[in-house]
Each structure stands twice: as C-alpha cells, then as structure tokens.
Structure 1
Amino acid sequence: MSKVLYISWSGLPETAAGIRVYQIAKVLREAGNEVIFLSLSQPTAGKQDEIEYDGFHYILKGQSKSKIKNVENIFCGCTDFCVIKDTIITEKPDTVIVYNEKERMTKKIVSFCHPLGITVGADVTEWYELSRSKKWNYVVAKNVDYRIRTMDSKLDYIISISPFLTAYYQSHGCKNVIEIPPIMDCVKSEIVPTSHGVRHLVYAGAPAQKDLLLPYLIAIKDINDDRVKVVADIVGVTKEQVRTLLQIDDLEKSGIIAYGRVPHEECVKVIEKADFSILFRENLRYAKAGFSTKLSESLSLGIPVLCNAVGGADEIIIDGFNGIKIEGCDSASIMKAIERILLLDEGSIDAMKQHAIETAKQRFVGELYTSVLDRAVNMKP
C-alpha cells in the first residue's frame, strides 16, 4: 500500500479535470492505497484550505494576489513548486502524480522527489494545438508541448488517456505507460429500446474551441428543410447561441431543441432518449491526444456515437457496430451520415446500442485498471 499525493489544478469533482483525478483516485483507493489531493490555484482557497470529500482529503491552495507572481508562475511554476515541496515534506507520500502540469516544473519535481525515495508519475489528458492558442493560452500550450517532448521521459510512470498519447510516449522511451480512458461511475446493463418514428440525435457539452457544432447544425437544418425527419437535442448551448450560429429564429421548425446548461442528471435523461450522440472535431493533435468524456458517457448510457475519424478516441468506434464514423466533418458529409441513420430500422439501432454498452464495459470500468495502477504507484524508484 502506498500513500499517493495527487497534484492538480482542478479541485473537487465538479469539472472534467476534477472528475478525472477523482475517478483515478477511487481506483487507487480500491486497491488499498491512500490518496491525498493537492489542488493548486483554487478560487475558494483561503476560506477553507483543507476539506474532506467522499473520504478523500483535499488541500486547497489559492493563487497569489500578486499579478506579477501569477505571471511568473505561468512561465516557471515558482510559486506552485514551493507549495508542492512543502506539501511533500509535510505529507511524506510514497509517490506523486501530477495532472497535466503546465508550468515546466516536472523535471524539478522529479529531482526533488527521487533523492527522497519518492516516485513521480503524470496523468496526461491533453496536448494542445499551438496554432490554435492565443496570448496566455499560447504560453500554456508551449509549456505543455515542451514538457511532453523533453521532461515526461524522466517520469517513473505515465497515465495516458488516449491511444495517441500512449503510442507517442512508448515510441519515445518512456518507462511505464498505462492507458486509462475516462472512467465512468456506472455503465448501463440494458438499452432503452428504439422507438418508431422521428430519430433523435444529441449533442451534450460546451463546444469552446474543441467541438465542431456549426456544420452539424447546418446538416440538420438542410435535412429537415421540408419536414422534421430528425430532432437535434443540444445540451450546454443556449437558444440564442444556436440562433446566432445558424442565423435563423425558429429553431424548432428545423428540428433543433436547445436546452442551454442543465444539471447533469437532466443532461443524462436527454442523452438516454437519443438514438445517437454526435461528436465532430478537427483532425488535429488536440483531438487525437484527448479523449472526450462525451464519447465515453454516451457509450456507457447505451447510445451509439456519430463521429468523424481523427485518429483519437474515435478509434474505438467501429462503423455500423457501436456507431457511425465518417471521414469528413463538413455539413455535406454529416448530412449523408444522418441519411444513413434514417434508413436504419429499430432493430439495427438497438443492436448498436447493445454494442455501445459492451464497448463501455470493456473500457470505462474502474476495476479494469486496479492492478496495473496499483503496481505503478507501489514500485520503487
């Protein structure tokens, strides 16, 4: 059994990053290890610096009030590294896991820990696209790129979220690479049978700079030009945002229902009613390196995925088996894929739903990774 210090910039499991580290920690705890979280740059820090959540101890540290120190921290992690050192000295962990370190301090953490007999690993879920990053985001993207290319090989183990990252690290001599996609709390055991009539597709998320929503919405509008053949449920995006994107006022006439942001429980209910979920991304490194929780959650709920091929998480989608996969992500290609879905009978869609659940059980259940994670955190430096 090891004592694990899990360092992140995410806090409680209220965001994708927070959920990721929490789920990994639960797997480690199941194997008998103790996990403590050090959450840096937290806005709530100062009010309550240490809290307990689901049996885990969280140490919350806020940002400096000095803008100069915060800028300096982005470039070299000076402030955060001091906090990390103090926490390691106080908590005396056997191993340290750092989630998506962005401040070029991985090498410093390794150099500090190894003489103390402490192993160091990383949980890597992102490799940003430099060409798409602006201002401070470019600095962060550059730091991450530098860390992955020059520092991560010094680590004792790496938890990789995607096949792309796993292949990269293994080809560059990294010692121990463990691939763990997003872990789901629950994988459904039964599908919701497909109803006869209008098909339902769902998008649930916040597009930001990652997901391509406009080509999909154009395809929906065009395919429903004379009558509504397919309903597009959009969760996480408001009606006004969709109207602005499409430059139309009557969304429902085009079969588009925008829910805006809703509690997760309501979001799940909308997804469960769908025949397919959708996920379209550009064929760029950020899409290959990451692993969308939208995809893993959809399959876990028994909903096949309509996506485009980018060589990332989409590799687990087999066209016609647990989803529909297309090469392009333009509106014409998406429209053809939707037309394929409209030709499927209920039995064919139900078969895909069942295959979605089977895929999720083979990949997104925490206990699948208990032994390999336990070995990693308990090995000696």
Structure 2
Amino acid sequence: MNDGGSVPWVAYVGPFLFPWGEAGSRRVYGVTRSLVAAGYQVIVAGGDQTPSIETQLEEYISIHQCSYLGLQERPSSRMSSFLRVKQVLWDWGKRTVRWLDAQKTPPKYVILYGGNIQFAWRLLDWCHKRDVKLIGDVVEWYDPRHMVGGVLGPINIGDKLAFHRVYPRFDGIIAISSLLENHFLAKGCKVIRVPPTIDISKFKIEKPLKRDSGQIELVYTGTPGKKDLLSSIMAGVLQANARCHENNKFVLNVLGPSAEQVRGMLDTEQLPSCIRALGRVPQVDVAQHVQRADFSVLLRPPSRSSKAGFPTKFVESFANGTPVVCNLTSDIGEYLQDGQNGVICKDCSSGSFSASLQYIASMPPSERELMKKKARYCAEAEFSFEKFTGKIAEFLHSL
C-alpha cells in the first residue's frame, strides 16, 4: 500500500501484467524504468493471483521505487467456465478499483495496460471522480478474425468501442506504434509514441562460440500464434538449403513450440536436420541462444495486428547483438537498415525469405560480424529506456 509519502507515485495496472518473462511485462519494465528515472514511485498492480502484498522487483529492477502485487483480476484455473466468463465480462477492474481506494493517497497517474472495455470504464470513472490522470498504454489492436466469436463476438465489439469511444476519453495515450499514434491523434487525444524499451545494461554480450562448420545459424523465439509465420520461415530455410552449394548451409533453432508442433507445421514425421525444435527454454537462457545465432528471423503478415504492435523480440535481438531477417511490419522500417543491421524480406512469403537467405549466404563472415555490431549499436541508440525518460516525464506534465 502506498504510505502517503512525498514522492509522487504511478499505478501501472492491468490484468495481463506479470512480474517478468512475458512480453507485456517486459513492455511495462521499460516504461517503468523511465518513470522511476524521472522521479516517480511506481506500483505495478497486475492480474496474477500472487503476490498478495507489494513485493520489491529488485530481482529484475535494481531500484527501490518500484514494487509489484497481484490483484487476482485474472480468473483462477480452478474456477468453473461460467465463473471465468463472468469475471472477465462483468467483474474485470473491480479489484483494481478497490485497491486504488485503499491507498492513503491516490496516485498522480494511473496507466492501464490491456484489459477490456469494462476494465477501462471502471478506471475512467474512478480517475475522473478523483481528478487522477488516466493514461492508456496501448500496444495491440487485434484483428476481429483472431478474436473468439469473430466480428460479431462480444470481445471484438468491446474492443471496437474501447478504441473508438473509451480510450479517446483518457487523459493521454502511450502508443507503441505510429499506426496507433495516428489513430488516437485523429481522435483528438494527447499521444506519445514509445516503442519497446529496454535496460541495455541487462544485455551483456558474451564471447560467441567458434563454429568451424561454416553453417549460418538462425534462431526463432516465441509462440507463433496467428501472427508469426513460422511455417513460411521453415519452408524458406529448406528452399535456401536446396539452392546452396553446401548442404544445410542454414540451421534454424526454434525456441518455444514443441517438436510435435514444429513437425505439424511442416507436415512431417521427422524433422530435417537443419530444423532444430528446442521447445520451451527458460527466459534467462533465451539470450544465449539469440547471441550465438548469426541472425534472428521473423515473418508476419501485413495485418492490422502486425502493423499496430511492435515485436519485442526484434528489439531484444538487436540488444543481444543479433541482426534480424524479417519483412517490414509496424515501424520496423525506421530501425532496420537492409544489409547493415539486418536483412529486409520483400514480403512474408517463403520464397522472399529464401531469397534473403541466399543473399546472406553470399556475405563474407566479416560482414556478418559487422552487422551484429551495428544491431547492438541501434539498440543502444534507439531502444534504451534512458532515451525516453525525459520525453515521458514531459508528456505526463503536459496532462
């Protein structure tokens, strides 16, 4: 509980916030670092079942002005299906509002990450009654066909109302992409664009292991879902290897999906030797796999979802000194320089991806090493939380 001290504090709330590990938490981590550096105390109140009391996040954030607690907004797995639906559709936000009411002094700002229209409405009502500024941290805008129930489903209808009616009534918006920035500017909102940000000091580059095979290692990390075209990536690797003079010139390490899932995407009972399905890897070990790779890879279709979001894995690959091979979605084109810190695919097809790999195969190793250095430099210059500390502070003051 906030003790009513003199340091202004910010409540960063949302049902999908976790202490660490998930993309949403890493987003909040970056913005929180900027807020603390600007002099604010931050309490991250997520939707988890635990911890039930405020816990310092010193394991992940080496500062004393940030703590975390779970408000049990997300339904427990022990609940019945009916109670889970009820909590999401009708009760979301109630626990967060009760927690805010219990604070000795209200926060100076409330930042909402995620949540449905009911969550947003409850916070909007609470903040307006208490003259607390409410800010939306908007990082996604899903396609209706990817939502349960489709275009006419309650989730899509609520999402549409939130983007066109509720979020525009917030005092400000932190947008992760130019598409979201432009949408809310057109609604008359005060907006600041902040891409995924990181503490670059946490990404320590280890000396890579020497490889004598001459193979070029690629790495994919994450859960493909409906956004990442992992099957096209794998098909492109097979096509490129078939065209290279050396057998299995490219090797793809897949982190996240199980071997069974990867085999299903390729529709084969046995994976080719150039595709390695490593399954789920602890978050602390992911960086080592990325750093060892020559390139990380990503293909996404040109949908509203891929244009509105911004892949955290792109930023973290650069921070690990690993260039990226991908097609252009969101604002990636502002940072990815073809042939300098990565390689741009013409589109999201396996053929275009294969052509990009063949271009990479023609590079001397020294050129690939230079690309790794340039990727790291871009991360330091463009995605460090320090770059946005003053900008975010100025934005808050303007509200």
TM-score, L = length of structure 2:
0.85
Q: 2:184 aligns with which of 165, 169, 173?
A: 169
Equivalents in 2 of 1:217, 1:85: separation in Å? Answer: 46
Distance change >3 Å, CA 365–CA 295, structure 1 → 2: same
Question: 2:275 aligned with 1:260, yes or no?
Answer: no
The 3-state SS of whatever aligns with 1:355 is helix
Question: 2:320 aligned with 1:305, yes or no?
Answer: no
Q: 1:247 aligns with which of 245, 267, 288?
A: 267
Equivalents in 2 of 1:286, 1:277: separation in Å? Answer: 21
1:49-87, Cα deviation, whole Å (9 max, x unpaired) = 214032433332223857555434433xx4233323322
Equivalents in 1 of 2:295, 2:156: separation in Å? Answer: 33
Aligned to 2:60: none
Aligned to 2:240: 223
Equivalents in 1 of 2:280, 2:80: separation in Å? Answer: 33
Question: 2:117 aligned with 1:103, yes or no?
Answer: yes
Aligned to 2:53: 50
More divergent stretch after superposition (7-16 vs 106-115): 106-115
Q: Return the letter of the residue paired with 1:7.
A: V
Does structure 2 conserve the Cα–Cα contact (< 8 Å) formed by 1:307 and 1:314? no
Q: Return the letter of the residue paired with 1:122.
A: G
Does structure 2 conserve the Cα–Cα contact (< 8 Å) formed by 1:100 and 1:123? yes
Does structure 1 conserve the Cα–Cα contact (< 8 Å) formed by 2:300 and 2:329? yes
1:235 Cα offset (Å)? 1.2
The 3-state SS of whatever aligns with 2:296 is strand
1:151 Cα offset (Å)? 1.7
Q: 2:97 aligns with which of 77, 80, 85?
A: 85
Question: 2:47 aligned with 1:27, yes or no?
Answer: no
1:24 Cα offset (Å)? 1.9
Aligned to 2:158: 143
1:154 Cα offset (Å)? 1.5
The 3-state SS of whatever aligns with 1:50 is coil
The 3-state SS of whatever aligns with 1:87 is helix
Equivalents in 1 of 2:14, 2:207: separation in Å? Answer: 36
Equivalents in 2 of 1:8, 1:68: separation in Å? Answer: 22
1:314 Cα offset (Å)? 4.6
Q: 2:22 aligns with which of 5, 11, 15?
A: 15
Equivalents in 1 of 2:290, 2:307: separation in Å? Answer: 24
1:194 Cα offset (Å)? 8.7
Q: Return the letter of the residue paired with 2:177.
A: S
Aligned to 2:222: 205
TM-score, L = length of structure 1:
0.88
Count of residue pairs the alignment pairs up? 373
Does structure 2 conserve the Cα–Cα contact (< 8 Å) formed by 1:189 and 1:357? no
Q: 1:125 aligns with which of 128, 139, 147?
A: 139
Does structure 1 conserve the Cα–Cα contact (< 8 Å) formed by 2:97 and 2:122? no
Equivalents in 2 of 1:114, 1:99: separation in Å? Answer: 18
Q: Return the letter of the residue paired with 1:59.
A: L
1:174-208, Cα deviation, whole Å (9 max, x unpaired) = 11324232424535579859967211111111112
Distance change >3 Å, CA 148–CA 187, structure 1 → 2: same
1:279 Cα offset (Å)? 0.4
Does structure 2 conserve the Cα–Cα contact (< 8 Å) formed by 1:104 and 1:144? no
1:88-145, Cα deviation, whole Å (9 max, x unpaired) = 2222211111002323443442233123221110111111010222339953344233
Does structure 1 conserve the Cα–Cα contact (< 8 Å) formed by 2:309 and 2:330? no
Does structure 2 conserve the Cα–Cα contact (< 8 Å) formed by 1:73 and 1:103? no
Q: 1:38 aligns with which of 45, 49, 66?
A: 45
The 3-state SS of whatever aligns with 2:102 is helix
1:282 Cα offset (Å)? 0.7
1:216-245, Cα deviation, whole Å (9 max, x unpaired) = 111222333482111111111222222222
Q: Return the letter of the residue paired with 1:21.
A: V
Aligned to 2:3: none
Aligned to 1:60: 70
Question: 2:342 aligned with 1:335, yes or no?
Answer: no
1:155 Cα offset (Å)? 1.5
Distance change >3 Å, CA 58–CA 172, structure 1 → 2: same
1:298 Cα offset (Å)? 0.6
Does structure 2 conserve the Cα–Cα contact (< 8 Å) formed by 1:212 and 1:282? yes
CA RMSD in angstroms, aligned pairs only: 2.6
Equivalents in 2 of 1:357, 1:285: separation in Å? Answer: 29
Equivalents in 2 of 1:130, 1:194: separation in Å? Answer: 47
Does structure 2 conserve the Cα–Cα contact (< 8 Å) formed by 1:8 and 1:39? yes
Q: Return the letter of the residue paired with 2:130.
A: L
The 3-state SS of whatever aligns with 1:28 is helix
User: Unaligned regions of 5+ residues in structure 2, if any?
Assistant: 1-6, 58-63
